[in-house]
Chains A and B, each alone.
Chain A
Amino acid sequence: MKKNIDYGEAVGVVAAQSIGEPGTQMTMRTFHYAGVAEHVPLGLPRLIELVDAKRVPKKVFMDVLVSKALAKDYEAVKTVAKNIECIKLYDIAKIQESFENKCINLVLDKDELEFIGVSGQDVKKVVEELGQKLEYDGRKGVITVYNKEETKGRVFRDLRKLTNRLKALKIKGISGLSKAVVVKDGNDYFVRVSGINLPEVLKLENIDLTKVYTNSVIDIEKILGIEAARNALIREIKQVLDLQGLTVDIRHIIVIADAVSSDGVIKSVGRHGLSGEKASILARAAFEVTVKHLIDASVAAKSDHLQGVAENIIVGQPIPLGTGMVKLRMKWFEVPEEKATEGEPSLFTKKRTLRKRKSISEDH
């Protein structure tokens, strides 16, 4: 299917209609992504999210694909998953505040430690980095932390502050990532993890850098660039529509993605993006916050050159699209000099000056 689009074809309107019409049939229902036991918005909410260029999608996840050599090895992939998942102290220990002794007891859960493959000593080392005084009872598996800086009269408050810091203390893995799951795709395995930390994941060993994926278009734009973000956007929109069983030609989606990414950053389509950045004052005023645009234009003494569709409809002129785009071009050519036949006057007299080949361009 190779066909060039005609000059003046309203690709944007057709794309909007082609996505909008099946969009009316979309349900507000949301399904699960296989593997991640969390609701990822799908259907209309997700489509709106993508098109609004939300900084933080509701639920982000990453697909971490291991290098080809390891992809079929379940255990190897599982190890990767274990190393990615961010484990906080809170997850592996009971944190007990002892106000009597002005200390905090961290009761380590041995099963958990074993499961994630971390020893009590390792945990102790991480906790030590906080710079607090501590004791470690290896036999009982208890770390006792004392608050180093004690402000007088605020002992308990400081203790509680310390507890909160301890709770969020990262023991292992990549921060921002939780719940890593191994997903099978054909014969290969890969890790799907909720949360996002693209820079850190790309630093990992044994992974296929070219295939790491996330559903956060904004993060892709920041780390991998606008072209990657454009492709991700197309893929995400296509996926939303496919999942609802709606068939939309991918070229319509491409038009939207191109429009939204053409400036080098992902813009939204609404008031703060595409529509709000139109060149024409009238077109912007016709969309939202009418008075603001009119006043701003007036203050800056702006003029509207009536080059878009909306503004020409407003003033009542043909729109510069389709048949309205066609302008008359005349090609002047030399008329062969006629011999004046006797009796009959020639249509072109010799006196008439003929312009030589010259084309007159459009007026503006």
Chain B
Amino acid sequence: MVKSENKKKKRRGGKVFINGTFVGWHEHLPSLMRQVIGARRRGEISSEINVHLNTRAVELSINCDSGRARRPYIVVEAGKSKLTPPIISQIKSGEFNWQKLVNLGIVEFLDAEEEEHSYISASEDELTPDHTHLEIDPVSINGVVVSVLPYSDHNSSPRITMAASMTKQSLGTYILNYNLRADTRAHIMYYPQQPLVQTRPYKILNLAERSAGQNFVVAISSYRGYNMADAVVMNRNSVDRGLGRSVFFKTYETEERRYPGGQCDKMEIPPATTTGYRGEEAYKYLGEDGIIYPECMLSSRDVLVGKTSPPRFLKEVTVFGVVEEKKRENSLAVRSDENDTVDYVLITETLGGTKLVKIRIRSNKVPEVGDKFASRHGQKGVIGLMLPQEDMPFTSSGIVPDLIINAHAIPSRMTVGHLLEMLGGKVSSQTGKFVDGTPFDHDSEESLKAAMKSYGFDEYGEETLYDGITGEQIKTKIYVGVIYYQRLHHLVSNKMHVRSRGPVQLLTHQPTEGRAREGGLRFGEMERDCLIGYGASMLLMERLLEESDKTYELVCTNCGLVAVRDFVKNTSYCHLCGFSTLEYVEISYAFKLLLDEIKSLHLFPRLVLKDKA
């Protein structure tokens, strides 16, 4: 087929590459391409071969190497799908399988390059003689996560992206043998449900087995300002009945490490002589082996595994000979706040043969104000109010919504799918059958409306609501439906943090950073600029000095260096001037560090003191 390189002849046609390597010239590349494709469809060459004709560079590349993402299409010839009704019936009867379809050239795989010059129709009705392929199912243009979202063909694309990423944060049954596992962190939902509105891929993927969400009765209305700006109002009684409830597992682990010199950690209840002893109270749940029992109710800083380590440095030998070395406290303590229970204790050994203990902690996470929920349409929200059922608005038939989302969440985001799913869920809860929400191929809105009507509901899904507090009828009709909501793993209880006083860093004497270290919130450069701009000089002082790293340093009035306070001899003196006049000066510790650093540059910073104005 391919003419070998011949230097004397003038080249016509174009270059041919196989897996990126130049192999020769061919006079007519399109016909060569057709030959290769034909041979592939007839099964004469491997079905894994793809060709790409670059008409601009006049190059044909034939690829059969690894690493090309390929996806299947139905072959179309002369505007006719090769997957004909007789073949379909043969597939149904089991005579045809996938491999056979590929072997017969009815289905073929295209890679990204060959796709470039293919004309692919999404549906069989739209086929023209120009088409080269037919999509097996239009849903398959979506990935695994997106294809699970119902009515995604009615949503704006950014919302689909957001919905897809939030679905990954939903908590449910992420795996079925979670009880045997020791994942560092895991969320399991108490009563997960499968959605009432499902897509075909959802069923294919069997996600009902690992569902991550529940069907909520949702009303779209503003509620006294408690669901402004993506907040939601939740029915407290629904929550008490188990709505959105989940459990959080966290696994701690520790091992008996060996140190050079034959020393070794030991798991035990540390004796009171240990350096860094935490006090008897901290070890109260430990068994004789220094390991906690399951089902212990923990409070903060309780020890899970008591452990002692050899001292970091060897002690000096005293006149009495070698003194017994004091052990160092190195216990594993729980790092969280409240209502934690020891769920599971695992004692095993590492690959190195040392003793390894894993302890799984369980804590109940009941939805509370600040927890995050999202539907499958990129509509996320945080609980702004937990309203008792009696105060919730109710329909004339006595239905009380689980959730009230704000109407302002809808128009600008154009998540029509959300509204459709609410209607679909409502229909499904009446008919007792799942509603199909597969994108491009779902139950029609008309059929949903008709179903609503036949069950005596308003066909648009609106209901007359009554205020739960006053009992008055709410003048406007409110859209109420049933929609699948997911609880996302951003729980306030794992995030909230306050500090009024607390630990400081050793180096700078400034407050520590981060929740885990009980840190402060940084008053940054831009915040500082704001106070300067406002002229709030004293407030700025408070933020940057009083509430941070204020210190008093002794300064020599003679030479201007920071002097020394000797607490042992109860004297103070200047390194340069000896016993000169010293004054306490109020500065930030960071400034003292700056002076030290300047000194390390071999520069001499002098402080010239003056009485405070």
Specify whether A and B are partners.
Answer: yes
- Nearest A-chain residue to B528, judged by Cβ: A313
Cβ contact within 8 Å between A295 and B603: yes
Cβ contact within 8 Å between A327 and B534: no
Cβ contact within 8 Å between B535 and A316: no
For residues 311 through 351 of chain A, which have their beta carbon under 8 Å from a beta carbon of chain B?
Answer: 313-325, 327
Alpha-carbon distance between A364 and B612 when the two chains are bound, in angstroms: 10
Alpha-carbon distance between A362 and B611 when the two chains are bound, in angstroms: 12
With contacts A13-B529, A364-B613 taken as known, whether A323 is within 8 angstroms of B537 at the C-beta atoms is yes
With contacts A313-B528, A316-B586, A363-B611 taken as known, whether A322 is within 8 angstroms of B535 at the C-beta atoms is yes
Q: Is A249 an interface residue (CB 8 A)?
A: no
Cβ contact within 8 Å between A322 and B603: no
Q: How far is the CB of A223 from chain B (nearest CB, A)?
A: 37
Q: Chain A contacts of B545 at CB under 8 A?
A: 316
Q: Is B492 an interface residue (CB 8 A)?
A: no
- Nearest B-chain residue to A316, judged by Cβ: B588
Give the size range of B's interface with the partner. Answer: 20 to 34
| Residue in A294, A295, A321 whose CB lies within 8 Å of B535 | A321
Alpha-carbon distance between A363 and B611 when the two chains are bound, in angstroms: 9
- Nearest B-chain residue to A11, judged by Cβ: B533
Give the size range of A's interface with the partner. Answer: 20 to 34
- Nearest A-chain residue to B533, judged by Cβ: A13
Cβ contact within 8 Å between B537 and A325: yes
Counting chain A CB atoms within 10 Å of each CB, which of B529, B535, B601 scores highest?
Answer: B535
With contacts A8-B535, A9-B535 taken as known, whether A295 is within 8 angstroms of B601 at the C-beta atoms is yes
Q: Is B176 an interface residue (CB 8 A)?
A: no
Alpha-carbon distance between A160 and B540 when the two chains are bound, in angstroms: 70
Q: Is A289 an interface residue (CB 8 A)?
A: no
Q: Chain B contacts of A295 at CB under 8 A?
A: 601, 603
Q: Chain B contacts of A16 at CB under 8 A?
A: 529
With contacts A298-B603, A315-B588, A318-B538 taken as known, whether A10 is within 8 angstroms of B532 at the C-beta atoms is yes
Cβ contact within 8 Å between A10 and B588: no
Q: Is A76 an interface residue (CB 8 A)?
A: no
Alpha-carbon distance between A322 and B586 when the two chains are bound, in angstroms: 22
| Residue in A294, A298, A324, A364 whose CB lies within 8 Å of B537 | A324
Cβ contact within 8 Å between B613 and A322: no
Q: How far is the CB of B553 from chain A (nearest CB, A)?
A: 11
Q: How far is the CB of B515 from chain A (nearest CB, A)?
A: 28
- Nearest A-chain residue to B606, judged by Cβ: A303
Alpha-carbon distance between A323 and B538 when the two chains are bound, in angstroms: 7
Q: Chain A contacts of B601 at CB under 8 A?
A: 291, 294-295
Q: How far is the CB of A330 from chain B (nearest CB, A)?
A: 13
Cβ contact within 8 Å between B604 and A303: no
Q: Is B591 an interface residue (CB 8 A)?
A: yes
Alpha-carbon distance between A295 and B591 when the two chains are bound, in angstroms: 17
Alpha-carbon distance between A221 and B538 when the two chains are bound, in angstroms: 42
Q: Chain A contacts of B613 at CB under 8 A?
A: 327, 362-364
Cβ contact within 8 Å between B541 and A318: yes
Counting chain B CB atoms within 10 Å of each CB, which of A14, A298, A315 scores highest?
Answer: A315
Cβ contact within 8 Å between B541 and A321: no
With contacts A298-B603, A316-B545, A327-B613 taken as known, whether A14 is within 8 angstroms of B533 at the C-beta atoms is yes
- Nearest B-chain residue to A324, judged by Cβ: B537
Cβ contact within 8 Å between B587 and A319: no
Cβ contact within 8 Å between B532 and A314: no
Q: Chain B contacts of A314 at CB under 8 A?
A: 588, 590-591, 594
Q: Chain A contacts of B594 at CB under 8 A?
A: 314
Cβ contact within 8 Å between B532 and A316: no
Q: Chain A contacts of B532 at CB under 8 A?
A: 10, 13, 309, 319, 321-322
Alpha-carbon distance between A320 and B535 when the two chains are bound, in angstroms: 9
Residue interface mask B383-406, A partner, CB < 8 A = 1: 000000000000000000000000
Cβ contact within 8 Å between B536 and A17: no
Alpha-carbon distance between A364 and B545 when the two chains are bound, in angstroms: 24
Alpha-carbon distance between A8 and B537 when the two chains are bound, in angstroms: 11
| Residue in B590, B591, B608 whose CB lies within 8 Å of A303 | B608
Q: Is B544 an interface residue (CB 8 A)?
A: yes
Q: Is B210 an interface residue (CB 8 A)?
A: no
Q: Chain B contacts of A14 at CB under 8 A?
A: 533
Q: Is B175 an interface residue (CB 8 A)?
A: no
- Nearest B-chain residue to A362, judged by Cβ: B613
Cβ contact within 8 Å between B544 and A10: no
Q: Chain A contacts of B587 at CB under 8 A?
A: 315-316
| Residue in A294, A313, A325 whose CB lies within 8 Å of B540 | A313
Cβ contact within 8 Å between B591 and A315: yes
Cβ contact within 8 Å between B603 and A294: yes
Q: Chain A contacts of B544 at CB under 8 A?
A: 313, 316
Cβ contact within 8 Å between B550 and A321: no
Q: How far is the CB of B554 from chain A (nearest CB, A)?
A: 16
Alpha-carbon distance between A317 and B541 when the two chains are bound, in angstroms: 7
Counting chain B CB atoms within 10 Å of each CB, which of A10, A294, A320, A362 scores highest?
Answer: A10
Alpha-carbon distance between A362 and B613 when the two chains are bound, in angstroms: 8
Q: Is B64 an interface residue (CB 8 A)?
A: no
Q: Chain B contacts of A17 at CB under 8 A?
A: 529-530, 533
Cβ contact within 8 Å between B586 and A323: no
Alpha-carbon distance between A9 and B611 when the two chains are bound, in angstroms: 26
Q: Is B598 an interface residue (CB 8 A)?
A: yes
For residues 548 through 600 of chain B, which have their beta carbon under 8 Å from a beta carbon of chain A?
Answer: 550, 586-588, 590-591, 594, 598
Q: How far is the CB of B591 from chain A (nearest CB, A)?
A: 5
Cβ contact within 8 Å between B586 and A298: no
- Nearest B-chain residue to A327, judged by Cβ: B613
Q: Chain A contacts of B540 at CB under 8 A?
A: 313, 318-319, 324
Q: How far is the CB of A318 from chain B (nearest CB, A)?
A: 5
Cβ contact within 8 Å between A323 and B536: yes
| Residue in B534, B541, B604, B611 whose CB lies within 8 Å of A316 | B541
Q: Chain A contacts of B538 at CB under 8 A?
A: 318, 323-324
For residues 266 through 304 of chain A, which have their beta carbon under 8 Å from a beta carbon of chain B?
Answer: 291, 294-295, 298, 303
Alpha-carbon distance between A308 and B545 when the two chains are bound, in angstroms: 17
- Nearest A-chain residue to B588, judged by Cβ: A316
Cβ contact within 8 Å between B603 and A321: no
Q: How far is the CB of B82 from chain A (nearest CB, A)?
A: 49
Residue interface mask A5-33, B partner, CB < 8 A = 1: 00011100110110000000000000000
Cβ contact within 8 Å between B536 and A322: yes
Alpha-carbon distance between A318 and B529 when the two chains are bound, in angstroms: 14
Q: How far is the CB of B508 from chain A (nearest CB, A)?
A: 13
Alpha-carbon distance between A8 and B594 when the two chains are bound, in angstroms: 28
Q: Chain B contacts of A291 at CB under 8 A?
A: 601
B-contacting residues of A (Cβ < 8 Å)?
A: 8-10, 13-14, 16-17, 291, 294-295, 298, 303, 309, 313-325, 327, 362-364
Contacts A13-B529, A316-B541 known; 18 new A-B pairs at CB < 8 A: A8-B535, A9-B535, A10-B535, A17-B529, A17-B533, A291-B601, A294-B603, A303-B606, A313-B540, A313-B544, A314-B588, A316-B545, A316-B550, A316-B586, A319-B540, A322-B532, A322-B536, A323-B537
A-contacting residues of B (Cβ < 8 Å)?
A: 528-530, 532-538, 540-541, 544-545, 550, 586-588, 590-591, 594, 598, 601, 603-604, 606, 608, 610-611, 613
Question: What are 9 A-B pairs with beta-carbon distances under 8 A?
Answer: A303-B608, A314-B591, A316-B550, A320-B537, A321-B532, A321-B537, A323-B536, A323-B537, A323-B538
Q: Which 7 A-B pairs have the closest CB atoms?
A: A322-B535, A324-B537, A316-B588, A13-B533, A298-B603, A316-B545, A323-B537
